[in-house]
Structure 1
Amino acid sequence: MLKVVFCWADISGYMAACWRELQSLSDIEIFVIAFQARTETSFSDQLMQGIPCRLLNLQERQDANLIKTLVLAASPDVLVLCGWLHKQYRQLAFASEFRGTALIMTMDTPWWGTWKQHLASWFLRSYLQRMNSVVVAGERSWQYASRLGIQPANIARGVYGIDYDAWSPLLAKRLQSEWPRSFLFVGRYVPIKGVDVLVKAYQIYRSQVSNPWNLVCCGQGPLESQLQGQPGIDNRGFLQPTEMQQVWQSAGAFILPSRFDPWPLALVEAAAAGLPVICTDACGSAVEVIRPWYNGLIIPPADAKALAKAMLTLHQQYTDLSTWGRRSQQLAAPYAANIWASRWHELIHDVHPANKAKQNPSKLVNKHLT
């Protein structure tokens, strides 16, 4: 039995589904240390029901000794660290107590070529040298991992998965009646998600058609006031995953106008639910899941006119939307939680010293970094 500890950020429905699948495998025992979702999201702790875990409050997540004690108590064979931003997690890689533990780092940050990213390879070098493998979300983060100096053989794809079995039946239910004429946005009401652009674009769209579709918005955040009192906009607020099923089923298309979004899972879930998708090219998961004019449209970020045009296009392509929705679901299928668990099962066994001689840490990172 291999023991695996995940040191994670905020909990979510999609990661809970993935961990639950991994925990169901007979030769894997997992323990999750994660943040309670008390900041930008309000997911219920009940999401983690049945998953061995310890959820950290705002104070506890800053307590490096507590985190280290929790990990030691689980006696992991493999320790998974999410990225490098949380110092208290990052310090675990340097703790002498974990010298015999295989280390995996996950990352979803895309490569944009900024000066900070160019410098990151030097600042992160000692941390990265301690990893046995780096798991990326998609092709954009693969490019960043490569530029950090990680050898391609030590980069795996597939950080995230979704509860595909929960979303996929919604397409068949939607097809039982007339395809809905409505747009759906799910996400935080913050500038980085482009909520202000969405409101402006929707106003433009409404002015161009005689029978505009409604825009349903689900989330919370400081820009919520911009949604209130707007004709055609239905603000539902933040809903738990179990409350979202009917919302997804009654939607006709999904919109994600983000200014920056490393690998948004809402986009993948929308595709799994069988929806055409409009998103910006800032959405990293669009690289894997969206094919323009096949199952969706990709537009520039912060461009209200382009977004309004895309909404008008779907309005006019109404008879094709069910076909686009079927294609979306096919493109989302590889991210099902059971497939995620299979990928991680293989990776965990590959990095474990009992199954493969532990890599020389100096070989994980290329000698000459870009």
Structure 2
Amino acid sequence: MRVLVLWNQLTGYMKATLECLAEQPEVELHVVAFPSATDAPFSASESRPGKASYYTFTDDLDVGAIRDDIDPDALIVCGWSTSAYRRLARRSRALRILYMDNQWLGTAKQRAGIIASRWYLGPAYDVALVPGERQAHFARLLGFREDDIWRGGLSGDYHAFAARPGQVPASRREFLYVGRLHDYKGVGVLAEAFRRYSSLVPDPWDLTVCGTGPMQKVFEQLPGVRHLGFVQPSNLPDIVRGSGAFVTPSTFEPWGVVIHEACAAGLPVICTPACGAAAALVEDHWNGYLIEPGSAQSLCEAMLRMHCLPDVERRRMGDNSALLARRFTPDRWAVTLVSRIDRRLPGGPAASPHRPRRRVGRGSSIA
């Protein structure tokens, strides 16, 4: 089974999942991906999967020639914003799989995208690969049939972060944020909430911040904050496991793989319902707290509750996070994906003619 993946910037967790895919005995894996972004400068060794042919996407790269040379059985494309990828999918004879993590927000742009679906997205893809139910709902609105929506489409690097139940020391007293330092990530809210929280208790926890971006100045000269800048994936698990609770106050977050990895490490999580992963991985007062997006007061109160929890309760929350995290692993992602592809290829047990196939009412938008 020849699989060609067309991706944006690769990350540590994508390296882990793609390596599991490449390890499947029937898979020959080829990957085309963008160079690393300036605010997430993953090194090549930390993001490029082994056991796979790798190509860096540039304006000069002939992706079509690569596709023709490989003649893939399955094509996996990240999103719909890269015109070169979209054109290649339209012309491909492979099973075309669209990975999408967009949530349905009901914006005017999304509604217009649905109307334009039959011309923009419909002719290009056969299957939607999505992380969870919120994304599946959007895929249905874009015209994908239920049988053509594959859930469980994303996993963190579970094994790098995983903790066993009872292994999490509740004595760790430090909040952790990992992510880009942009406004939509809620970092301004985080800085203000941490300032308020620190003024209300005599022995406040510290806050460790991992990431870079245009808003990193909001943490400067804020007592109790340790800003580590961008951290390569291999160095992150020890930092996560050395923390007491994970915080991500995003006002917009399609999924949020870092929530999965924090749960795998056995951390209680404080986040907003705007994070797509919250629907699957955060249960309010069971393994963390859900807060109001954009509210420094709501976040401050959640940090106070976490601070005041008895050690045994905080350990219980961490163990609950670890239990939820087991639902998603790179191994399961790879095995399930190969099985699904195999069933849809000509001659497979669930083969349906995907060349050509009926396409109705599909479209795309930018959230």
TM tier, smaller: over 0.9
SS of 1:244's partner is helix
Go from structure 1 to structure 2 and tell me whether the alpha carbon gap of 1:270 and 1:32 turns closer, same or farther (over 3 Å shift). same
1:140 aligns with 2:134: yes
Work out which of the residue numbers 297, 308, 319 in structure 2 matches 1:316.
Answer: 308
SS of 1:79's partner is strand
Bigger drift between 280-289 and 31-40 goes to 31-40
Q: Is the 8 A contact 1:171 1:249 kept in 2?
A: no
**Structure 2 matches for 1:10-159, cutoff 5 A?**
10-47=9-46, 48-56=48-56, 60=58, 62-63=59-60, 66-95=62-91, 98=92, 100-126=93-119, 127-159=121-153
Q: Which residue of 1 aligns with 2:330?
A: 337
- Matching residue's letter, 2:97: I
Q: Which residue of 2 aligns with 1:164?
A: 158
- Matching residue's letter, 2:280: E
SS of 2:317's partner is helix
**TM-score where L is the length of structure 2:** 0.93
Go from structure 1 to structure 2 and tell me whether the alpha carbon gap of 1:367 and 1:245 turns closer, same or farther (over 3 Å shift). closer
Question: What do the CA deviations read for 1:191-221 (whole angstroms, capped 9, x no partner)?
Answer: 1111111000000111111110000000111
Go from structure 1 to structure 2 and tell me whether the alpha carbon gap of 1:118 and 1:367 turns closer, same or farther (over 3 Å shift). closer
- Matching residue's letter, 1:76: P
When the two structures are aligned, how many residues end up with a matched partner?
Answer: 359
CA distance in 1, matches of 2:359, 2:267: 40
Return the offset for 1:88. 1.2
Q: Which residue of 1 aligns with 2:234?
A: 242
Gaps of 5+ in 2: none
CA distance in 2, matches of 1:185, 1:322: 19
CA distance in 2, matches of 1:213, 1:234: 11
Q: Is the 8 A contact 2:115 2:361 kept in 1?
A: no
Go from structure 1 to structure 2 and tell me whether the alpha carbon gap of 1:338 and 1:142 turns closer, same or farther (over 3 Å shift). same
Q: Which residue of 2 aligns with 1:359?
A: 354
Gaps of 5+ in 1: none
Q: Which residue of 1 aligns with 2:215?
A: 223
Q: Which has the higher contact order (CA 8 A, sep 6+)?
A: 2
CA distance in 2, matches of 1:149, 1:368: 7
SS of 2:227's partner is strand
- Matching residue's letter, 1:204: R
Bigger drift between 157-166 and 252-261 goes to 157-166
Return the offset for 1:223. 1.0
Return the offset for 1:72. 2.1
Go from structure 1 to structure 2 and tell me whether the alpha carbon gap of 1:360 and 1:73 turns closer, same or farther (over 3 Å shift). closer
Identity %: 33
CA-based RMSD of the aligned residues comes to: 2.0
Q: Is the 8 A contact 2:210 2:228 kept in 1?
A: yes
Question: What do the CA deviations read for 1:285-335 (whole angstroms, capped 9, x no partner)?
Answer: 100100000001111211100000010011111421111011101111111
Go from structure 1 to structure 2 and tell me whether the alpha carbon gap of 1:197 and 1:55 turns closer, same or farther (over 3 Å shift). farther
Q: Which residue of 1 aligns with 2:278?
A: 286
Go from structure 1 to structure 2 and tell me whether the alpha carbon gap of 1:4 and 1:296 turns closer, same or farther (over 3 Å shift). same
Go from structure 1 to structure 2 and tell me whether the alpha carbon gap of 1:364 and 1:206 turns closer, same or farther (over 3 Å shift). same
SS of 2:326's partner is helix
Q: Is the 8 A contact 2:142 2:363 kept in 1?
A: no
- Matching residue's letter, 1:250: G
Bigger drift between 353-362 and 109-118 goes to 353-362
Return the offset for 1:18. 0.7
Go from structure 1 to structure 2 and tell me whether the alpha carbon gap of 1:317 and 1:365 turns closer, same or farther (over 3 Å shift). farther
Return the offset for 1:73. 2.2
- Matching residue's letter, 1:50: G
Go from structure 1 to structure 2 and tell me whether the alpha carbon gap of 1:41 and 1:51 turns closer, same or farther (over 3 Å shift). farther
Q: Is the 8 A contact 1:102 1:132 kept in 2?
A: yes
Return the offset for 1:49. 4.7
Q: Is the 8 A contact 2:101 2:130 kept in 1?
A: yes
